[in-house]
Chain A
Amino acid sequence: MNPEDRKYSREHEWALVEDAAAGTVLVGITHYAQDQLGDVVYVELPDSGAPVGHMAKMGEIESVKAVSDLYSPVSGEVTEINGRLAQEPELVNTDPFGDGWMLRVRMSDPAELEALLDAGSYNDYLGGL
């Protein structure tokens, strides 16, 4: 269920390396996270060009019932945000690993990826929650 092609944080964000040479990753939240939140109605993201820090707050996500902080799994600079989420926040529920992506980030320290979980370890982590 959790794709093998990316890394995971214990806060249930994912980072998918798009271009290793350029050091760019896509960032989003996991299926587990969207399932826990329920119907997502609003996603507050940083502006394009803003810095993000490894496991520092990068935004907020609201469902009908709750609001949660979003944490960036990597440090770097936001190069693009998923503009579709402004009108279609439900994409986070329906396709969290695809069209529901949140940020494109140019990493300042790609070694941070090593500190994240691979899909197998993340599955194990979910099993222990």
Chain B
Amino acid sequence: MAADTTVADNLRTALYDTHVALGARIVPFGGWDMPVQYQGVIAEVAAVRNAAGLFDVSHMGRLHIGGPNAAALLDILLTGSASGLRVGRARYCFICNDQGGVIDDTIFYRLSEDEFLLIPNAGNRPAVARWFDRQLALHFDGRGVHITDRTMLTGLIAVQGPRAVGMVDQLCEDFTSGARRASNPGRTPAPSQLRPFAWGRGHIDGRRVFIGRTGYTGEDGFELAVGSADVVPIWNKLTDAGVVPCGLGARDVLRLEAGLPLHGHELSDTITPIEAGFGRFVRRDGGYNGADVLDHQRVYGTERRLVGLTLPGRSAPRAGYDVLADGQVVGTVASGSYSPTLEQCIAMAFVDAAHADPDTVLTVDIRGRQSQATTTEPPFYQRPS
């Protein structure tokens, strides 16, 4: 167990000193020094499931893609339609290579007719930016789109949990929806009026905030993009209101409980969205990179499929462990953890299609112990409606 695992040339968010002052354990992640936990993963998961948690996700990228050809370029780069997305809305989808493998998964927001904000994963930001530049040169001769990386100029924080929306409502002033359609007449506009995957703008503590009703925890909530100088005051405003700081450890458990993929585990440049069971985020009219492969897989199926596994006990299956049927290896764990919310172990695993139907009984080799695992369709956890 090494005491100091931070890396000298890792990037730090504007909140780094705040995390250290809060007693966070800092770990390297995707080229950044990030808080993995403050008080403890179990308490932080409970805060998000029962009240409200606060995450520094400034390590994720902020790419602004603008210009007359922006929507047309994104239609080629993304499995979700950009030209069909209304201003004021956001969409989750994939950036695929020509083989259908996932370069990254992303949420992108339509800011105006000609401008989009796209959020790549921290470690994938350089690869995504390079891929976009190459594709722009290939399809549009490098013209009609400007790509600006605003990651280091801004911060991104997520407020998640059943109490998150009400708390942001209380703190937010001068809210306006990003949609051009006016909100309900007679009602004071508020962030809570945003539908899921819609965005707006407002002020917290007198500072400009971009507010998206998005997240990565399976709970309701917002992601807030703000200027770098405003991140710490806004973070403090939220923690003063009682929102609990949560680290990447809790975030990983929460997203796994909610059945959400993490690039590098359930998705990669050699795993397609269809294999991973996320075909609902892939449009059916083609025209994007990798469409031929994904269309074919959707019709004819794939050799392996991502399944959920539930296991009794508390000894967790972890990434890379073998999944077996009748003593034969039929798959590999992509992510696994003890789930404090469900009080059992859960995992997502790629298994041969023959063993992927729900309620199939398999085993996972947990460091030499054969642990019984039952397949299920994620999510493992769904918030009460």
Contact = CB atoms under 8 A, between A and B. Distances in A.
Interface of A: 12, 33, 36, 38-39, 41-42, 44, 60, 62-65, 67-68, 89, 93, 129
B253 A64 contact: yes
A42 B249 contact: no
Given A64-B249, A64-B340, A68-B1, A42 B40 contact: no
A60 B36 CA distance: 22
B318 A42 contact: no
A41 B253 CA distance: 14
Interface residues of B, number: 23
Given A39-B42, A41-B42, A62-B314, 17 more contacts: A36-B1, A36-B3, A39-B40, A41-B314, A41-B338, A42-B315, A44-B315, A60-B315, A62-B316, A64-B253, A64-B340, A65-B36, A65-B37, A65-B337, A67-B318, A67-B367, A129-B4
Interface of B: 1-4, 25, 36-37, 40-43, 249, 252-253, 313-316, 318, 337-338, 340, 367
A44 B315 CA distance: 9
Contacts of A63: 41
Contacts of B314: 41-42, 62, 89
A60 B367 contact: yes
Residue of B3, B41, B252, B314 with most chain A CB atoms under a 10 A cut-off: B314
Contacts of A44: 315
B318 A38 contact: no
A124 to B, nearest CB: 14
B338 to A, nearest CB: 5
A65 B2 CA distance: 15
A42 B317 CA distance: 12
Given A64-B338, A68-B1, A39 B41 contact: yes
B313 A64 contact: no
A67 B316 CA distance: 9
Given A39-B40, A44-B315, A62 B338 contact: yes
B37 A38 contact: yes
A129 B249 contact: no
Contact of B40 (A38, A68, A89): A38
A126 to B, nearest CB: 8
Given A64-B249, A64-B340, A38 B41 contact: yes
Given A38-B40, A65-B41, A12 B1 contact: yes
Nearest to B252: A65
A42 B37 contact: no
A62 B315 contact: yes
A73 B265 CA distance: 37
A93 B252 CA distance: 21
Contacts of A62: 314-316, 338
Nearest to A35: B25
A117 to B, nearest CB: 16
Given A38-B37, A64-B42, A129 B338 contact: no
Contacts of B25: 38
A41 B316 CA distance: 9
Contacts of A129: 2-4
Contacts of B249: 38, 64-65
